[in-house]
Amino acid sequence: MLEKQNIFAAGTHGYHTFRIPSLLVTREGTVLAFCEARKNGPDDAGDIDVALRRSTDHGRTWGPLRIIADDGANTIGNPCPVQDRDTGTIWLLLCRNEEDGHEKDILAGVRSRQVLAMKSDDDGITWSEPNEITADVKRPEWTWYATGPCHAVQLRSGRLIVPCNHAALQPDAAASGPYTAHVIYSDDHGATWHIGGIADEHTNECALAELPDGIVYLNMRSYHGHNRRAAAWSRDGGLSWTGIRLDEALVEPVCQGACSKTGAAGCCSPTLPA
């Protein structure tokens, strides 16, 4: 029988709302539960921090809530973790904007969005300060940017690969073009990060998984007007993607649609098209 536990409860610990959860089971068997802790309300901008709780008994009991990233009244969120199996380091990719950096203003190019990376070398007990990697993983014309939300993976090759999305400014319109999913990656255990393959437009919040044959499967929120998840595949470790396919088996109301258990939304149906 499944037992339900509410490990982040709205209105507790001085926070109005907890949203955007992500789970990681470390190689030590510790369960790390991350989420955004929204101080004053449910909105996507404002005083937002990154919260963490740890379980060392497979989720039966949980340690206290801790804030591991806090930029005062500004926003830090979209936690997207991955553990390097070779070094044991847990990487957490994040995004930051000013407290008044609402998405509509970022898309209009009048507010900015940064990309951060932080790490833990002791199974999530302590964490480094967030390090900004924006210049390495965000093109100058990109306005909106989001890591995850959900989690990243390490491929069998050792590559760390992070699902993301962005939108690009159209200067004549003072607005951004359609959301577009992409990935970033590191081939040197998180020392440097790079932009990987960019999927077709009208996609954003996404998750990925490496299939048994080494093909990488990307599953995306779709803005194509058909209420179906979009999928793409990569044969080169996420450096390029096939054209998208709308999966008729995966009906969505246009939402995040992530699945922390399986590693990718809808990865019950990851068959590569011929």
pLDDT in single tens digits along all 274 residues of the chain: 788 889 999 999 999 999 999 999 999 999 999 999 999 999 999 999 999 999 999 999 999 999 999 999 999 999 999 999 999 999 999 999 999 999 999 999 999 999 999 999 999 999 999 999 999 999 999 999 999 988 999 999 999 999 999 999 998 888 999 999 999 999 999 999 999 999 999 999 999 999 999 999 999 999 999 999 999 999 999 999 999 999 999 999 998 886 433 333 333 333 344 4
Instruction: Tell me the C-alpha distance between 136 and 248, whole Å.
Output: 36
Q: Which residues contact 11 (CB under 8 A, 6 or more apart)?
A: none
Q: In the chain, where does DSSP find H-type helix? A: 103-107, 134-137
Q: Does residue 8 belong to any structural domain of this protein?
A: no
Domain that holds residue 178: 72-251
CB-CB contact of 3 with 61 (8 Å): no
Long-range CB contacts for residues 105-112, cutoff 8 Å, separation at least 24:
106/143, 106/144, 107/143, 107/144, 107/167, 107/175, 107/176, 108/143, 108/174, 108/175, 108/176, 109/143, 109/169, 109/171, 109/174, 109/175, 109/176, 112/143
Total number of domains constituting the chain: 1
Q: Does residue 97 belong to any structural domain of this protein?
A: yes
Task: Return phi, psi of residue 237, to 5°.
Answer: 70, 25
Q: Does residue 141 belong to any structural domain of this protein?
A: yes
Burial of 112 (0-12, 13-18, 19+ CB in 10 A): middle
Q: Does residue 127 belong to any structural domain of this protein?
A: yes
Record the pTM: 0.93
Instruction: Tell me the C-alpha distance between 80 and 146, whole Å.
Output: 10
Residue 149's pLDDT is what? 87
Instruction: Tell me the C-alpha distance between 58 and 4, whole Å.
Output: 13
Q: Does residue 260 belong to any structural domain of this protein?
A: no
Q: Does residue 86 belong to any structural domain of this protein?
A: yes
Q: Does residue 146 belong to any structural domain of this protein?
A: yes
Long-range CB contacts for residues 99-107, cutoff 8 Å, separation at least 24:
99/45, 99/46, 99/47, 99/73, 99/74, 99/75, 100/45, 101/45, 101/74, 101/75, 102/43, 102/44, 102/45, 103/44, 103/45, 103/144, 106/143, 106/144, 107/143, 107/144, 107/167, 107/175, 107/176
Q: Does residue 59 belong to any structural domain of this protein?
A: no
Residue 229's pLDDT is what? 96
Residue 219's pLDDT is what? 97
CATH of the domain at 102: 2.120.10.10
For residue 169, give both structure tokens.
């400014």
